[in-house]
Structure formats: C-alpha cells, structure tokens
Amino acid sequence: MDLVADYRRLPSPLDQMRGALFIAGSNSSDDLFMFWKRRVSGLQPGRAYAVDFTVLLATNVPKGVGGIGGSPDGSVFLKVGAASVEPAAMSVQSAGRLEYRLNIDKGNQSQSGKDAVVIGTVGNLSGTPTWELKELQGGSDRLAITASADGSAWLLVGTDSGFEGRTSLYYARVTAQFTPR
C-alpha cells in the first residue's frame, strides 16, 4: 500500500511556504480508507451536537478522468466524521485473509455512515493534472455527535477509495464547528 502520512510543504505552483498534512497510499484492493484524526475537548459532557466541516485540500487529480477500477476523482470520496471513541483500525479475518476495518461506522466508499459522511470527491476544478486548492463543506445536516463524559470527541477527515491506483493529497485546513442540538 506504500502508505505515507506526514507534514509537508505544499507543492508547486501552490504557496510552498505553507505547510499541510500530507497523506498518500496505493490502493490495490479496490477499497482503501486513509484518514487523519484528532481529539477535541471543551464540549459539554453528554451534550448532542451537529458538526459542520470545512476542508481545504490540495489535489492534482483532474476532475472527470477515468482510471483503474474507478476514477481517481469520482471514485475517491472525501469523508468527514465525528465519534465519541477514537477511530482505530481493527484486524479481522475475512474469507481466510487478514483485513483491517475501522471501529466506527464510516460507511463504504460513496455511502455515508453513522459516524462519517461524504462531502465530495477529490477532483480539482481545472480538469488538468495541476496542484490546486479545493474547498469542500458539509456534515451538519447529517452528522451528529454526543460528547463523551469528559467533554471530548474525535474528529476525522479522509478518503474512501475505489480507485485502484495511488492517491496523494494535502489537507491545508480542516475546521469543525459544533452546534448544540
């Protein structure tokens, strides 16, 4: 899978003085979920919240291009999520082979789950293989969380991919707004 997750400068022609969370992986299984997570605190314990996300990402994937097993644009779904437990990979045996699954309900590829929702795909706006910034918003109409007993929650942003190739993205900014319900 050749997974990479680190902090890097944005690529040219973007502002190379600006850093971002970089994530990349090669999907040979037709089903790869790559994500960043973060615990937040300061919420009212046991209170229900709607969560609305804004994600600014750098992508060089041309919108509408075809690909292996699916499009590197139309088959790579950007998801945002919130959960009261830390999102973590769990190993399971399936059909005699080891697989990893997330311990929260993120849905599968184009489908949202209870803990994560699709807010778009990763294709850029120009339709050329040039690095561009793209902003996606969403979540609050479908994403709800109840803060844990210590007033915390876990957030995630990631891609759920059916594209059988390499995906590389930079998360330049991720914001989450909690609105009491």
Query: Three-state SS string across 58-82, please?
Result: EECCCCCCCCCCCCCCCCEEEEEEE
Q: What is the mean pLDDT of residues 157-164?
A: 83
- Largest Cα–Cα distance in the chain? 48
Q: What is the mean pLDDT of residues 71-100?
A: 88
pTM: 0.91
Domain ranges of the chain: 4-180
Q: What is the mean pLDDT of residues 119-144?
A: 90
Q: What's 4-180's CATH class?
A: mainly beta
- The Cα–Cα gap between 181 and 3 comes to 38
Q: What is the pLDDT of residue 15?
A: 93
Is residue 135 within 8 Å of residue 122, measured between CB atoms?
no
* Highest mean pLDDT: which range of 9-13, 64-68, 125-129: 9-13
DSSP, collapsed to helix, strand or coil, labels residue 85 as coil
pLDDT band at 110 (very low <50, low <70, confident <90, very high): confident
Is residue 166 within 8 Å of residue 24, measured between CB atoms?
yes
**What percentage of the chain has pLDDT greater than the value 70?**
97
